[in-house]
Amino acid sequence: MRILFIGDIVGRPGKHACTQLVPKLREDLRLDLVVANSENIAAGSGMTPQMFNKLRHQGVDCCTMGDHIYRRREILELLNSSDRIVKPANLPREAAGREFMVVQGSNDVPVAVVSLLGRTFMNLKADCPFHGIDRVLQRIPSEVRVILVDMHAETTSEKIAMGWYLDGRVTAMVGTHTHIPTADERVLPKGTGYITDLGMTGPYDSVLGRDKTAVIKALCTSMHYPYNVATDDVRLSGVVLDINEATGRTNSIERISVPDPGEPDSSE
């Protein structure tokens, strides 16, 4: 089976890129499932139920989140009711949301999706992600062979360590959060697809998706400037995983970066 995992969707430009590109990519790349990290889609921070529904309508099967998961209070009910979105599994059990989800691709193969939150240099406090994933893997039904993990973390070392920790235990582990795509995609020795960071789906004429002029001014002056979402050079970034659905191992992982062919609309 073939799965597209999309990196952090940032603001209206990122949402527009998904709207324009996901339906076409599903057809052109013969995709069975599309997963997207969506925690930055609402003006660069958080997500709303309306945006979640729009992504689903345009062909995104399910969403992972990260440290901005609770930035928009209106998402809490969705987190508790929908089986197409997960919280980081190493957040407290009392926190809204489910620790993993099992969804079916267009080929009817069940796929488990798990989100984890790193602890180094992250503002949202979380439990140990290594212990968290051990707990969740014990709960995933044994018949589910395809397991995807999104490690939302700041440091490359934490993500690489998790990749080695999970090699042979999950189908793929992809990193998110830094908005910078890394060039280290590979299949680890025991069959787990890996990349340190998927990159950003949003405006690359920016600093991590934000207006570069404001960010540079803030860094130069130590004064606050509004970090509005940028608008130019919008791309969809992520990886395409080719997976042996019988063994749950990754055959290949390919990094992609696709320009948005149009301009963002004016609606959120």
Kindly list the structural domains of the chain, giving each domain's residue range(s) and its CATH number in brackets, ordered by start: 2-259 (3.60.21.10)
Tokens of 177: 């959060």
- For position 267, what pLDDT does the model report? 46
What count of Cα atoms within 13 Å lies in the side-chain half-sphere of residue 84? Answer: 18
Distance CA 92, CA 127 (A): 7
According to the model, what pLDDT value does residue 268 have? 45
For the segment 154-207, what is each residue's pLDDT rounded down to a tens digit? 999 999 999 999 999 999 999 999 999 999 999 999 999 999 999 999 999 999
Distance CA(250)–CA(245), nearest Å, equals: 9
The confidence score (pLDDT) of residue 173 equals 98
pLDDT score at 262: 82
Pair of tokens at residue 67: 């440290």
The catalytic residues are: 68
The residues of the chain scoring below 70 in pLDDT are 263-268
User: CA 44, CA 72: separation in Å to the nearest integer?
Assistant: 11
CA distance 250 to 31: 15
Please tell me whether residue 204 adopts helix, strand or coil conformation. Answer: coil
pLDDT of residue 264: 54
Rounded to 5 degrees, what angle do the CA atoms 19, 21, 24 make?
115
Selection from 9, 1, 76 nearest residue 36 by Cα = 9
DSSP 138-169: HHS-TT--EEEEEEE-S-HHHHHHHHHHHBTT
Specify the pLDDT at position 13: 97
